[in-house]
Amino acid sequence: MHRLDHPGLVFRSLDPSDGDETLLKGWYEATRRGFHQTRGNDDGFEAWRAHTRNDALTLLGAWSEPSELASATMPVSTFSSWTAPVNVGGGTSLPTRLISDVTVAPTHRRQGLLRKLMTVTLADAVAEGIPLAALTVSEGSIYGRFGFGTATHVRQVEVDVTSKFRFREDAITDDGSVVLAEPAEAWKTVAGIYGTFQDRTRGSVTRPHYYEPWLSSAYDFAGDSKDESKQRVGVHLDSGGTPDGYVVYRTADERNDSGLRMAKVVDLVALTPSAYLRLWRFLADIDLVERVGWAKAPVQDPLYWALAEPFAVKSAELDDFLWMRVLDPVKALQGRPWYADGEIALGIEDPLGHASGTWRVAVRDGRAEVIPTDTIPNVALAADTLGALYLGGVDVRTLAASGRITGSPEAIETWAAMADGGPLPYCITGF
Ligand SMILES: CC(C)(COP(=O)(O)OP(=O)(O)OC[C@H]1O[C@@H](n2cnc3c(N)ncnc32)[C@H](O)[C@@H]1OP(=O)(O)O)[C@@H](O)C(=O)NCCC(=O)NCCS
């Protein structure tokens, strides 16, 4: 790789289909080391390899010279990326560079390796005409400098499913049913329901291939073994027998901090409000379970409003989920929906330069026309703030009140009317 250099290191881009097996295994082990996992096994490696091939991953790494102590098949830094559609609202999905497996060994941290690998990856995406990049993160302070902003959120909930769990009389009733299924048999249905959810849900990401072995219980990535777990699936059928929701859950021998028996939702998708509440009724009906936990509940959760005792839902915290990065303001802003006619001159400051400049954003009938302009911007923001705003997960006025959007009050009001108004984005696919 000619554009990357670092003293004492060799950069390589591995071919997932046909790459050197030793280096691929080393790369895989390096990511496991970086995320404090145990050493891998052959089944896990094959499950990972299927993902790298199916999703056509770019696998970048930096290797040091081999020595007597270390054969150096494991790189000191890893970085993967691939392109997949993200639903940006209004029924449109745009190709997005998804970034993952970012690790740097303790021997090489803070020497600029992440910066180099990120810079080259985003520049390649721009050269390929990809308008957006996205990632899910483990630390919040790293990625803003590269133009990423927190674009979607989820809520961690723990629901009391003892006698406190009772719907209000006016809660939507369901005339469908739930079938308990084995994960492998249910997989096709689960994937189909997720596909519809993906098409309908602003902020949703097309799933990488490893969701198949994970949700079909072919491989347990957490336990690093063939899945012997207690993972089960409940599939919701509407009154005509058509599947329109599912929950994948585990009833491990887990207890919460108060010693109460827990079931954990791994993945829950409902295409209708009645399927959503019915799946919660199903979870509440699991015997020998007192609490159900879910780490990816929607920020505005109908369950809370449908229960006679809403305090049965304990919300632990609001978590950031998908971080977005606009690479091409024309394609990205023209691709998303808009909610009022208007026009502003938007100044974007991008530390990496990709979105920098002033852009005339003119909205008519829900669509924007975006062109570069020489006029002085009347609204200005940095690339990470644009990333946060892009899917509508936070509104313009809130960001202006935090100081992250500046401009004339009239122009900010116009921008708010144009940009705000759609459904909150929701993403339940980490990667
Ligand atoms: C996070 C990690 C990838 C950083 O790699 P690195 O090569 O040391 O980072 P760089 O030297 O390229 O630093 C790039 C910039 O990020 C900053 N930065 C790096 N890690 C940071 C952290 N944990 N918190 C805050 N800032 C951080 C650096 O200060 C630097 O800032 P500057 O360029 O504005 O001066 C590395 O520490 C790591 O592997 N951590 C464990 C795995 C992990 O958390 N991965 C992220 C998953 S989302």
Number of residues that make up the chain: 431
Domain count, the chain: 3
Pocket lining for ligand 1, CB < 6 angstroms: 34, 102-104, 109-115, 137-139, 141-142, 145
> What's the pLDDT at 390?
98
DSSP assignment, residue 298? -
Confirm whether 147 is domain-assigned: no
Cα of 52 vs centre of ligand 1, distance in Å, is 24
pLDDT at 274: 97
Is 388 part of any domain? yes
Residue 289 in contact with residue 232, Cβ under 8 Å? no
Domain match, 170 and 271 both: yes
Task: Reduce the DSSP state of residue 348 to 3 states and report it.
Answer: strand
pTM, two decimal places? 0.96
Q: Is there a single domain that holds both residue 275 and residue 365?
A: no
Determine, yes or no, domain membership for 140: no
Determine the 3-state secondary structure of 144 from DSSP. Answer: helix
Pocket test for ligand 1, best of 31, 114, 135, 145 (most atoms within 8 A of CB): 114
Residue closest to 378 by CA, chosen among 409, 404, 401: 409
- The C-alpha atoms of residue 427 and residue 104 are separated, in whole angstroms, by 27
41 and 126 fall within a common domain: yes
- Of 289, 319, 349, the last residue of a domain is 319
Retrieve residue 181's tokens.
């299924």
Regarding whether 195 and 52 lie in a shared domain, the answer is no
How many angstroms separate the alpha carbon of residue 113 from the centre of ligand 1?
8
Distance CA 346, CA 366 (A): 18
Q: How many other C-beta atoms lie within 10 A of the C-beta of residue 388?
A: 24
Q: Domain boundary at 319, 339, 370, which?
A: 319
Q: For residue range 52-108, list pLDDT tens digits in order.
A: 999 999 999 999 999 989 888 999 999 999 999 999 999 999 999 999 999 999 999
* 17 & 59 share domain: yes
Ligand 1 atom nearest the C-alpha of 111 is: 11
Q: Ligand 1, atom 41: nearest CA belongs to which residue? A: 103
Same domain, yes or no: 314 and 335? no
Count CA atoms closer than 13 A to 253's CA, side-chain side: 0
**Which structural domain range is residue 96 located in?**
9-130
> So what's the pLDDT on residue 186?
98
Q: Which of 6, 79, 108, 109 to mutate to test the pocket of ligand 1 (most atoms within 8 A of CB)?
A: 109
Same domain? 65 vs 123: yes
Q: Is 235 exposed, middle or buried (0-12, 13-18, 19+ CB in 10 A)?
A: buried
- Contact (CB, 8 A) for 81 and 50: no
Say if 157 falls within a structural domain: yes
Residue 3 lies in a domain: no
Domain harbouring 363, CATH code = 3.30.1050.10
Q: Which of 209, 223, 215 has its CA nearest to residue 37?
A: 223
pLDDT value at residue 19: 81
Task: Look up the CATH number of the domain holding residue 264.
Answer: 3.40.630.30
User: Are residues 188 and 301 both part of a single domain?
Assistant: yes
Residues 301 and 273 placed together within one structural domain of the fold: yes
257 and 122 housed in the same domain: no
Characterize the bridge pairing of strands 132-135 and 323-326.
antiparallel
Domain boundary among 319, 340, 357: 319
Residues 165 and 301 in one domain: yes
Strand 149-150 to strand 323-326: parallel, antiparallel, or no bridges (unpaired)? antiparallel
Low-confidence ranges of the chain (pLDDT < 50): none
Amino acid at position 309, single letter: E
Same domain membership, residue 163 and residue 100: no
Nearest by Cα to 252 from 295, 223, 213: 223
Residue 368 lies in a domain: yes
Residue 143 belongs to a domain = no
354 lies in a domain? yes
| Ligand 1 atom closest to Cα of residue 145 | 34
